[in-house]
Amino acid sequence: MSATQIADTGLTAAEAAKRNDLASRKPYVAAKLARISEMEARGDISPIIRLEKSYLCNFQCTHCSAEYYMDRHLHKVFKIEDERRKIDLDDIRELSRQADELGIARFVITGGEPLVMKDFDAVVEAIDPDKHYVITDTNGWFLDYERAKHLKAIGVEKVQLSLDSFIPEQHDAFRNKPGSYKRVMRAIDASIDAGLNLILSTVLVKGRAKTDEFREMCEFCTKKGIGLYVSYAKPTGSCTEHPEFVITKEDADIVREFEKKYNVFTHMTPSYGSFKGCITVKGLITVTSTAEVTPCPYIDLSLGNLRETSLAEILDRGMRNPWLGPHRPDCLIGEDPQFIKLHTEKTKNSVLLPVPWGKGFSDSDSLVD
């Protein structure tokens, strides 16, 4: 795609420049990304694949959605080992191949903390950064300039860096890691200097949208030219013990108003006129360390296992499920009380997550049971 073609799509100049740069380095990936809107117009989907190969983490955050998947949790609470077969690099290569066939273009390596994975580079290679746009999540602890340069060199395009308060003590307390705020600030500069695309992600708990701290974080990101991704606290994982974190529509509407003046967005924010709403399946899926596919990082109900079912069929299951497809404006697991209750009931007795297809989600699901 030429620069002229990109300039005609209504993008901001900065976004067009980024896409032109990508097109010059990775034309196959850029072409796939450019086709997403026409895929959506046809009724096809191109979700971002969040890949949770490992749940190892050097943090223990108050709101972690992955805590219940972690070995440390299974050891401490249930005194068991997770004997299920874990995904390996061959599984990731196969997932990459199936995703590419479906026109899917984006992978996020997440966890756990991806940058503690010894095989991180091999995972990037298995995804294939010449076929897919590769993003990594990180808490920033290990992301200095050298590491950022290395990420760029192996094909990572973007970093999503977590910052949960603009007040250092609050961030460190939320993350249960003294010094983590300073490491995030270092990682911001390191990522920018290394030429990585960068967004900050932050968890919105009830009432935070009205605070000076949140507004100041929005102002900081806007001045710095960094997007701030706001993730609503969901009552799953470690947050199950904090139902008071769940936001109200008023909180969500404040963030929507902030989008008018700050560089801030949620997973439901329209992108260049595309109003996807809740992106479960339509815009995002998670592949867990046991090859289960869930419709969102916070919904612990599987749509199928990639060792038994093709990715295409798993996505179809999601899109024909009345909770998940084809369109809703709110966050299913963060805002819909009936679904939150259903999810809590379906997961409360499950030691090993996610709940398999047929026992959580199924083709007989109904909104009014």
- Per CB under 8 A, residues contacting another protein are 10, 40-43, 249-250, 252-253, 256-257, 260, 270, 273, 275, 277, 322, 325-330, 336, 338, 367-368
Query: Between 177 and 256, whose beta carbon lies closer to another protein?
Result: 256
CB of 338 to another protein, least distance (A): 7
Query: Between 45 and 61, whose beta carbon lies closer to another protein?
Result: 45
CB of 207 to another protein, least distance (A): 16
Query: Between 42 and 348, whose beta carbon lies closer to another protein?
Result: 42
Cis peptide before 168 (omega within 30 of 0): no
The neighbouring-strand residues paired with 284 are: 48, 280
Helix 168-175 with 180-193: angle, nearest 10 deg: 100
Distance (Å, whole) CA 95 – CA 291: 10
C-beta of residue 140 within 8 angstroms of C-beta of residue 166: no
Q: Walk across the sheet containing 133-138 and list its strands.
A: 264-265, 227-232, 197-204, 156-162, 133-138, 106-110, 48-52, 284-287, 293-294
Query: Between 40 and 219, whose beta carbon lies closer to another protein?
Result: 40
DSSP assigned state of 156: E
135 three-class SS: strand
CB of 37 to another protein, least distance (A): 11
Query: Between 24 and 274, whose beta carbon lies closer to another protein?
Result: 274
Query: Between 143 and 268, whose beta carbon lies closer to another protein?
Result: 268
CB of 124 to another protein, least distance (A): 34
CB of 76 to another protein, least distance (A): 38
Distance (Å, whole) CA 237 – CA 229: 20
Query: Between 284 and 332, whose beta carbon lies closer to another protein?
Result: 332
Pairing of β 293-294 and β 284-287: antiparallel
CB of 79 to another protein, least distance (A): 40
Query: Between 94 and 336, whose beta carbon lies closer to another protein?
Result: 336
Dihedral of the alpha carbons of 349, 354, 355, 356, in degrees to the nearest 10: -150
Distance (Å, whole) CA 281 – CA 129: 22
CB of 36 to another protein, least distance (A): 13
CB of 196 to another protein, least distance (A): 31
Query: Between 6 and 252, whose beta carbon lies closer to another protein?
Result: 252
C-beta of residue 115 within 8 angstroms of C-beta of residue 53: no
Sequence-distant (6+) residues with CB within 8 A of 41 are none
Distance (Å, whole) CA 317 – CA 303: 7
Q: How far is CA 156 from CA 90, 121, 124, in A?
A: 20, 10, 7
Distance (Å, whole) CA 252 – CA 289: 31
Query: Between 14 and 41, whose beta carbon lies closer to another protein?
Result: 41
Sequence-distant (6+) residues with CB within 8 A of 104 are 32, 46, 47, 49, 132
CB of 120 to another protein, least distance (A): 38
